[in-house]
Structure 1
Amino acid sequence: MSSSRGSAALKLDEAVPVFAALGDATRLGLVGRLSAEGPLSITRLSEGTGVTRQAVTRHLHALGDAGLVRDSRRGRERVWALNLERLATARSYLDEISAQWDDAAERLRAFVEND
């Protein structure tokens, strides 16, 4: 990755845990729910998943370790929310990779047309 593009993008060693965390269907589903519904308790996040609250908690901790979610206390409940800054930097990383692919495709097109 060139450093001239998107300095806000994740570095490779920072990106790996983010995309590894998102590579699990349950965790990706939790991120989707938090994105659509906002901060939720473990009880609410567990509803309709077919996964135990303990398993959801483990998945949330994995997402938290990657910096994708944060928790806070609301009374007796722990409420989980997305870390939008971390998602934005992950998106910057994907945008940078996309731009590299676009550049490579353009070089290939120019090569083929000039032959």
Structure 2
Amino acid sequence: MSDLRSVFAALSDETRFDIVERLMKDGELPAGDLVSDSTISGPAISRHLKVLREAGLVEQRAEGTRRLYAVRPQALKTISDWTIDHRAFWEVSLNRMAAALEAEEDICPTSD
């Protein structure tokens, strides 16, 4: 898996994000299906798929003349692991914000 920054950079593009979402929902698909359901050209889809492959998000396999694409489960696990690792940061930050709001409410109570 490439570095996580390249993964998030690849997913920051709406078309690439949609491709990954589609592959997650429908499973492995030939490139032609991704092109036929898109408003952009085949060469443009191909370039997006290359970025996703280079970021380690999707894998490609050949079946005759067709190229089939699928999401790499390891890539999603890496994203999930990163999110879980950073969960503590968000929990602490949200807890501090809740405490600050409670303190402000104690100082300036609203009248009901």
State the TM-score bracket (shorter-chain normalisation). 0.7 to 0.9
Q: Partner letter of residue 67 of structure 2?
A: R
The answer to whether 1:80 aligns with 2:69 is yes
How far is the alpha carbon of 1:47 from its aligned partner?
1.5
The runs of 5 or more residues in structure 1 that have no matched partner are: 1-9
Q: How does 1:24-63 map to 2 (within 5 A)?
A: 24-63=13-52
Q: TM-score, normalised by structure 1?
A: 0.79
Q: TM-score, normalised by structure 2?
A: 0.81
The structure 1 residue matched to 2:88, chosen from 99, 102, 105, is: 99
The runs of 5 or more residues in structure 2 that have no matched partner are: 107-112
The number of residue pairs the alignment matches comes to 104
How far is the alpha carbon of 1:69 from its aligned partner?
0.3
113 and 51 in structure 1: CA distance in 2 versus 1, 3 angstrom threshold: closer
Cα-to-partner distance string for 1:18-77 (whole Å, 9 max, x where unaligned): 000000000001001100111111100112211111111100010011100000001110
Greater RCO, CA 8 A, separation 6+: 1
How far is the alpha carbon of 1:80 from its aligned partner?
0.6
- Alignment root-mean-square deviation, CA: 2.2
User: Partners of 1:36 and 1:112 in 2: how far apart?
Assistant: 40
How far is the alpha carbon of 1:109 from its aligned partner?
4.5
SS in 2 for 1:67: coil
